[in-house]
């Protein structure tokens, strides 16, 4: 029944016309973010087409009385579609997000209750502060306060909560978020899907371990903190999403810090580049 509901939701969305994004509004959104400005003219045109499809298919709602304006919705849509730019034609690429419709935007940081399991198997109930959350086959929830942070500071840190959460969605295409998304065919030119998976898992596992060690050294011994958001050390899925947002927002810095992961993400998100 859940599959049937998603199918009907998608058919209703496809029946709506593709919205025309006003040129003035589109330029206002593009000009705010350095990583948008770095795109080629061809990439910007495709991003606009993807954003229009995204806006047709998704339903935005504001929490706690927040009114989601056209500019806010387009800001989210454009960032969400950046990972799709080189994943085939627009209609094919946007299908990576076809498992949900709703996007809930909160005015500020969200508070979520979570059950935490320690090494002894004991369960504790905690309240966590979140800037975003992606549910498998469910909605994406975002904090507008996090999205609206200074774009130049986000560029310097390599952060985007929108890209982070939508890369979780891509990760979830083959199951729960675990940092091991479905890989495109002929990934990095490797001979088989098995070899591609082994290469991905080996590279990410060793990098996640190294990142955790670097975070621990910074916290315990005062060594310089890694550039990537330390939240990536909490789980392989979060490490993947943190790496993805850095890859898209400030690729030059990311490639310098993590050349092996840059190669992995280029193979995942830019398979048409060979």
What are the domain boundaries of the chain?
1-151, 178-274
pLDDT at position 118: 53
- Model-level pTM? 0.89
pLDDT at position 121: 60
* 74-97 pLDDT per residue, tens: 999 999 999 999 999 999 999 999
Give the C-alpha distances (Å, rounded to integers) separating 68 from 51, 60, 72.
16, 7, 6
**For residue 148, what are the contacts with CB-CB under 8 A and spacing of at least 6?**
none
Q: What is the Cβ-side half-sphere exposure of residue 182, based on CA atoms within 13 angstroms?
A: 11
Strand partners, 60: 103
Confidence tier at 123 by pLDDT (50, 70, 90): low
Confidence tier at 5 by pLDDT (50, 70, 90): very low
- The chain-wide mean pLDDT, for the chain, equals 90
* The CATH fold of domain 1-151: Cyclin A; domain 1 (1.10.472)
**For residue 79, what are the contacts with CB-CB under 8 A and spacing of at least 6?**
33, 147, 160, 162, 163, 166
pLDDT at position 111: 72
3-state secondary structure of 71: helix
CB-CB neighbours of 41 under 10 Å: 7
Confidence tier at 126 by pLDDT (50, 70, 90): low
pLDDT at position 122: 60
At the top level of CATH, the class of 178-274 is alpha beta
| Over residues 45-70, mean pLDDT | 97
């Amino acid at each position: 029944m859940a599959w049937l509901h998603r199918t009907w939701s998608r058919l209703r969305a496809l029946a709506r016309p593709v919205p025309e994004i006003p040129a003035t509004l589109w330029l206002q959104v593009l000009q705010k973010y350095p990583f948008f400005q770095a795109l080629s003219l061809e990439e910007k045109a495709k991003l606009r087409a993807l954003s229009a499809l995204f806006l047709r298919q998704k339903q935005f709602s504001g929490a706690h009385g927040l009114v989601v304006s056209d500019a806010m919705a387009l800001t989210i849509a454009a960032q969400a579609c950046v990972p799709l730019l080189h994943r085939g034609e627009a209609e094919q690429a946007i299908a990576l997000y076809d498992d949900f419709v709703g996007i809930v935007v909160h005015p500020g940081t969200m508070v979520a209750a979570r059950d935490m399991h320690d090494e002894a198997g004991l369960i504790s109930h905690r309240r966590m502060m979140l800037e975003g959350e992606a549910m498998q086959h469910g909605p994406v929830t975002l904090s507008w306060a996090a999205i609206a942070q200074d774009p130049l500071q986000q560029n310097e840190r390599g952060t985007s909560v929108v890209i982070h959460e939508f890369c979780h969605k891509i990760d979830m295409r083959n199951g729960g978020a675990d940092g091991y998304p479905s890989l495109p065919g002929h990934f990095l030119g490797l001979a088989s899907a098995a070899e591609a998976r082994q290469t991905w898992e080996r590279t990410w596992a060793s990098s996640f371990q190294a990142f955790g060690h670097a975070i621990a050294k910074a916290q315990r011994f005062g060594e310089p903190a890694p550039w990537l958001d330390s939240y990536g050390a909490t789980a392989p899925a979060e490490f993947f999403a943190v790496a993805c947002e850095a890859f898209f927002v400030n690729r030059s810095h990311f490639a310098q810090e993590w050349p092996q992961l840059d190669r992995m993400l280029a193979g995942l998100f830019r398979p048409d580049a060979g």
